[in-house]
């Protein structure tokens, strides 16, 4: 009984008949909302996945680091002497946190990977990226040691580029340690032997919280290890970390100072780590900006469309509203009428939109191997549509409320 | 007819804000579609259309008997030094060339040029003919016998500009890698996109600066650039042991004369692997892969799968824009209904009025299409800025311009026909009240 009275008061029947009379306008609105829901839910899903890949942190001090290459080209060039002199010179600068000669670093996309095992002749090794650094490596990269200790200066070995041997100590990332030993009791891992490529034995002396491998799109990004050695090449890469805010100046300063200091080599590829990261993720950034632009433009267009349609409707119905007011309907009734009408149209659009969104997602899953659209993205898109709808109809509805009963007597 | 057209033009100008809004709405949708479709189209463009089905990428499975090089059971993407040398020397195809990236110091004796580290491609002379590399001066060198090394080089245009000030440098000498090389050729600008013959540094990376004969890499023990994959870890330290090893570092391509020769070459490859098995190599089941350029690009997923998703989202976005434009055009028509009724009452035929509306809607649609096309140019420029590696191929060609124009006209018709259909169903009497 109460329910029928409530329904009568809400005048749903009345609204339905009005909507039916404007089939054309309502149909176009519903389709727009439906398509927008499909685009928003799938677009949000793809954008968020991409955002996750681009905004990972490698474990390094990304904002204050850069690297450069020193390439010797004369016969008398001695790589070891050159590296030692360069490192000492850079470390002496007060603006520099630390510097290290490295074979590789995150986002460099070049490096070596080896299979680690805890017993010899295991056919399923844990593949991890190899970093060869001296005792300054941890500070330069800005890594956190969660167990054990860093290398000492005496443990660091110098080797030629063709020497494939590893030093006797190893630092593992936490993820690598878990993959190998299947435990998070770090202390129990310290001192344990492991095998590299089944033929070299090394001892774990410490665990690093986090350090990515050099390949940003690797499937096991956090599998890496550090051994204490410096490899001499005619071409050497230095990785330099400076104090906050000094990056730009120090890049120029150090490159210039090194060039002047030794003329048997050239300094090249002076690049900040954030620039390297940008290079690696260029395609993803381009993709993200496309998705965000499309979604932004879409929301704007749909909002404008709804606003236009409701303004037109209120304009066309001015006289009817006036008559209703004259017959005793108050402002609240008019407000409720339009809000309810909107809610019904939007809900119809969203329901159809969920169908569209799922269809689109099924197509993408079947043809291009995308993952399934989680339901929360549909919910999010629906909420955005309701919100857009409310914002877009604020002005037209407030116009409708302001129509006075006198209008009924005027002719338009 | 002229009169109708004039009236339509006047109507378009009558409500400038509404007209602008309609044009912008259509243009946004079209720009989104053209940009996303353009990226797919440009990325998947055939880089060697004359013979992409006859130029083949060679893969052999020399991997660890216990483990595939790439899951599921795929051969490595590159070949070993010994296989590269053997297959090129066998000359079983029209052209054959192996190649790898390497680098070394270039120390020009010219006073104007400073020493620099040159990125080089060590390859066979047939590389240039196979990939249609354009020569500005000179010609490629000949494929040499395996153990013969000629100290010759082909320069990119950039390097020739830098060292020889852009002159014809054929026959002149260039000192690099500690030796003296004779320039035999200079390439014109050459940026194959995608760089299908070696995508180790990305499908849209820059081509190398200098080209040297393959055998020079061994002669001078040049570094192994690109990607090196090894499975047999009992490798000693010297350079020759790397060349004799099962490590893969070399891209191997061949061109056959006719499509019918592909099966002959496949047969040759399997007999080559058979013969190597007798020598104790290739301990996995024979698993050769011979892909032509298009198949190779597909295999390497050069067009990111996301692009297809973006294109479908953009198409839906365009549909939304068109529905919206249709509503706006309806509004525009509604505001002139008194005028229409008046013209009707004065005896204008229903046809003339219909035509006037159609022309007006088409004008708006076409203007929207043109604006959309301009917007997509701006958008593609923006993407090239965001991702500099794309800039070499991001240009609108005729096919793409055609796509944009076709889409615009279809969109214009679509967004115009809905309101016209609606208008034509409204009885005249209703407007006259």
pLDDT at B348 over 60: yes
Question: Stretch B89-103: mean pLDDT, rounded?
Answer: 92
Query: B210-213 and B116-123: which strand pairing?
Result: parallel
* B426 touches B242 (CB < 8 A): no
* A66 touches A91 (CB < 8 A): no
Question: Stretch B295-318: mean pLDDT, rounded?
Answer: 86
Domain ranges for chain A, please list them.
2-55+282-410, 78-263
Annotate A208-227 with b (16+ C-beta within 10 A) or e (fewer).
bebbbbbbbebebbbbbbbb
Choose among A28, A294, A360: nearest Cβ to B317.
A294
Tell me if A301 and B25 make a contact (CB, 8 A cut-off). Answer: yes
A216, two tokens? 């940003």
Question: Stretch B188-201: mean pLDDT, rounded?
Answer: 87
On whether any CB of chain A is under 8 Å from the CB of B71, the answer is no
- Torsion on CA atoms A175, A181, A182, A184, rounded to nearest 10: -70
Tell me if A287 and B28 make a contact (CB, 8 A cut-off). Answer: no
Residue B69 region by backbone torsions, left for phi larger than 0, else alpha for psi between -120 and 50, else beta: alpha
On whether any CB of chain B is under 8 Å from the CB of A370, the answer is yes
Nearest partner of B290 among B308, B273, B313, judged by Cα: B273
A364 neighbourhood in chain B, CB within 8 Å: 308-309, 312
pLDDT at B234: 65
- Three-state DSSP state, A288: helix
User: Which residues on adjacent β-strands are paired with residue A264?
Assistant: none
On whether any CB of chain B is under 8 Å from the CB of A263, the answer is no
- B400/chain A closest Cα distance in angstroms: 19
Alpha-carbon distances, residue B286 vs B71, B73, B271, B273, B292 (angstroms): 16, 11, 10, 7, 19
B390 neighbourhood in chain A, CB within 8 Å: 282, 286
On whether any CB of chain A is under 8 Å from the CB of B433, the answer is no
* A41 touches A373 (CB < 8 A): yes
Tell me if B320 and A39 make a contact (CB, 8 A cut-off). Answer: yes
Tell me if A42 and B313 make a contact (CB, 8 A cut-off). Answer: yes
Choose among B115, B237, B320: nearest Cβ to A36.
B320
DSSP annotation of B229 reads B
pLDDT at A251: 93
Residue of A nearest to B177 (CA): A73
Nearest partner of B257 among B56, B116, B424, B90, judged by Cα: B56
A155, two tokens? 């443990």
On whether any CB of chain B is under 8 Å from the CB of A352, the answer is no
Residue A352 region by backbone torsions, left for phi larger than 0, else alpha for psi between -120 and 50, else beta: alpha
- Three-state DSSP state, B20: helix
User: Which residues on adjacent β-strands are paired with residue A204?
Assistant: A170
On whether any CB of chain B is under 8 Å from the CB of A124, the answer is no
- A145/chain B closest Cα distance in angstroms: 30
A116, two tokens? 């680690």
pLDDT at B204 over 90: no
Residue of B nearest to A311 (CA): B331
Per-residue pLDDT of chain A (412 residues; tens, 9 = 90+): 566 666 566 667 777 777 777 777 788 889 999 999 999 999 999 888 888 877 778 888 889 999 999 888 777 788 889 999 999 999 999 999 999 999 899 998 888 888 899 887 777 889 899 999 999 999 999 999 999 999 999 999 998 877 778 999 999 999 999 999 999 999 999 999 999 988 889 999 999 999 999 988 777 889 999 999 999 887 889 999 999 989 999 999 999 988 888 878 888 889 999 888 887 887 777 778 888 888 998 999 889 888 888 887 888 888 888 888 888 888 888 888 888 888 889 999 999 999 999 999 999 888 887 888 999 999 999 999 999 999 998 888 888 888 888 877 775 5
Q: How far is it, in rounded angstroms, from Cα A405 to Cα B324?
A: 33
- ipTM of predicted assembly, 2 dp: 0.74
Gyration radius of chain B's alpha carbons: 31
On whether any CB of chain A is under 8 Å from the CB of B4, the answer is no
Burial class (CB in 10 A: 0-12, 13-18, 19+), A274: middle
pLDDT at A223: 93
Choose among A32, A198, A290: nearest Cβ to B324.
A32
Tell me if B383 and A289 make a contact (CB, 8 A cut-off). Answer: yes
Nearest partner of B340 among B327, B16, B332, B362, judged by Cα: B332
On whether any CB of chain B is under 8 Å from the CB of A71, the answer is yes
pLDDT at A9: 62
A73 neighbourhood in chain B, CB within 8 Å: 105, 107, 115, 117
Q: How far is it, in rounded angstroms, from Cα B140 to Cα B125?
A: 6
pLDDT at B248: 92
Q: What is the pLDDT of residues B125-137, one digit of tens each?
A: 999 999 999 999 9
Question: Stretch B342-347: mean pLDDT, rounded?
Answer: 78
Q: How far is it, in rounded angstroms, from Cα B226 to Cα B122?
A: 12
Q: What is the pLDDT of residues B226-281, one digit of tens each?
A: 888 888 766 666 788 888 888 999 999 999 999 999 999 999 999 999 999 999 89
* A269 touches A70 (CB < 8 A): no
Tell me if A71 and B326 make a contact (CB, 8 A cut-off). Answer: no
Tell me if A38 and B316 make a contact (CB, 8 A cut-off). Answer: yes
On whether any CB of chain B is under 8 Å from the CB of A21, the answer is no
Residue B352, C-beta contacts closer than 8 angstroms, at least 6 positions apart: B4, B343
């Amino acid at each position: 009984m109460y329910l029928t009275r409530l329904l009568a008061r809400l005048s749903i029947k009345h609204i339905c008949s009005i909507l039916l009379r404007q089939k054309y306008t309502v149909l176009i609105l519903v389709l727009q909302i439906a398509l927008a829901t499909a685009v928003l839910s799938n677009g949000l899903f793809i954008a968020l996945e991409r955002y996750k890949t681009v905004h990972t942190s490698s474990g390094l001090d990304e904002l204050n680091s850069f690297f450069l290459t020193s390439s010797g080209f004369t016969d008398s060039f001695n790589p070891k002497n050159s590296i030692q002199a360069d490192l000492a010179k850079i470390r002496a600068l007060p603006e520099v946190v630390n510097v290290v000669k490295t074979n590789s670093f995150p986002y460099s996309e070049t490096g070596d990977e080896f299979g680690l095992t805890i017993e010899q002749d295991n056919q399923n090794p844990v593949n991890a990226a190899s970093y060869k650094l001296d005792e300054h490596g941890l500070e330069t990269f800005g890594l956190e040691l969660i167990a054990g200790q860093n290398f000492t200066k005496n443990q660091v070995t110098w080797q030629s580029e063709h020497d494939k041997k590893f030093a006797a100590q190893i630092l593992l990332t936490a993820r690598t340690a878990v993959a190998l030993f299947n435990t998070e009791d770090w202390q129990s891992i310290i001192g344990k032997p492991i095998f590299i490529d089944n033929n070299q034995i090394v001892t774990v002396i410490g665990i690093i919280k986090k350090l990515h491998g050099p390949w940003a799109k690797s499937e096991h990004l956090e599998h890496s290890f550090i051994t204490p050695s410096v490899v001499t090449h005619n071409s050497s890469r230095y990785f330099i970390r400076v104090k906050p805010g000094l990056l730009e100046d120090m890049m120029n300063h150090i490159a210039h100072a090194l060039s002047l200091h030794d003329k048997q080599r050239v300094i090249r590829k002076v690049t900040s780590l954030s620039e390297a990261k940008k290079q690696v993720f260029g395609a993803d950034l381009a993709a993200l900006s496309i998705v965000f632009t499309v979604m932004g433009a879409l929301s704007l267009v749909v909002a404008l469309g709804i606003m236009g349609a409701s303004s037109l409707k209120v304009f066309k119905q001015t006289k009817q509203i006036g008559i209703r007011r004259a017959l005793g309907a108050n402002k609240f009734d008019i407000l409720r009428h339009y809000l309810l009408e909107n809610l019904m149209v939007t809900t119809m659009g969203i329901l159809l939109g969920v169908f569209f969104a799922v269809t689109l997602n099924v197509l993408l899953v079947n043809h291009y191997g995308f993952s399934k659209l989680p339901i929360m993205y549909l919910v999010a898109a629906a909420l955005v549509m309701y919100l857009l709808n409310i914002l877009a109809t604020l002005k037209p509805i407030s116009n409708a409320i302001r129509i006075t009963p006198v209008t009924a007597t005027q002719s338009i | 007819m002229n009169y109708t057209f004039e009236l339509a033009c006047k109507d378009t100008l009558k409500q400038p804000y509404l007209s602008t809004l309609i044009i912008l709405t259509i243009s946004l949708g079209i720009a989104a579609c053209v940009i996303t479709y353009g990226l797919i189209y440009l990325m998947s463009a055939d880089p060697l259309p004359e013979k992409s089905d006859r130029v083949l990428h060679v893969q052999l499975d020399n991997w660890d008997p216990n483990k595939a090089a790439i899951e599921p059971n795929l051969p490595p993407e590159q070949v070993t030094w010994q296989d590269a040398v053997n297959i090129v020397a066998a000359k079983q195809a029209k052209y054959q060339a192996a190649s790898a990236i390497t680098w070394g110091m270039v120390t020009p004796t010219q006073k104007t040029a400073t020493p620099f580290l040159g990125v080089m491609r060590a390859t066979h002379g047939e590389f240039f003919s196979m990939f249609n590399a354009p020569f500005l001066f000179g010609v490629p060198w000949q494929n040499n016998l395996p153990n013969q090394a000629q100290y010759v080089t082909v320069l990119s245009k950039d390097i020739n500009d830098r060292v020889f000030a852009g002159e014809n440098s054929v026959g002149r000498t260039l000192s690099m890698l500690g030796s003296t090389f004779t320039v035999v050729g200079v390439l014109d600008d050459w940026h194959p996109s995608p760089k299908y013959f070696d995508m180790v540094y990305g499908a849209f990376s820059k081509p190398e600066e200098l080209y040297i004969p393959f055998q020079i890499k061994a002669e001078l023990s040049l570094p192994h650039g690109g990607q090196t994959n090894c499975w047999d870890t009992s490798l000693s330290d010297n350079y020759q042991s790397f060349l004799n090893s099962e490590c893969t570092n070399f891209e191997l391509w061949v061109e056959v004369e006719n499509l019918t020769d592909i099966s002959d070459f496949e047969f040759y490859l399997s007999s080559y692997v058979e013969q190597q098995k007798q020598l104790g190599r290739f301990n996995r089941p024979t698993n050769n892969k011979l892909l032509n350029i298009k198949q190779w690009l597909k295999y390497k997923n050069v067009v990111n799968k996301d692009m297809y998703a973006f294109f479908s989202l953009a198409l839906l976005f365009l549909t939304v824009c068109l529905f919206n434009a249709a509503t706006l055009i309806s509004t525009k028509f509604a505001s002139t209904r008194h005028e229409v009724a008046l013209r009707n009452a004065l005896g204008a035929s229903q046809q003339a009025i219909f035509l006037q509306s159609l022309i007006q809607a088409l004008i708006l649609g076409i203007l929207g299409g043109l604006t959309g096309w301009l917007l997509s140019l701006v958008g593609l420029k923006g993407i090239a800025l965001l991702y500099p590696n794309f800039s070499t191929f991001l240009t609108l060609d005729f096919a793409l311009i055609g796509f944009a124009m076709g889409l615009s006209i279809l969109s214009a018709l679509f967004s115009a026909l809905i309101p016209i259909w609606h208008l034509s169903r409204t009885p005249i009497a209703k407007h006259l009240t």
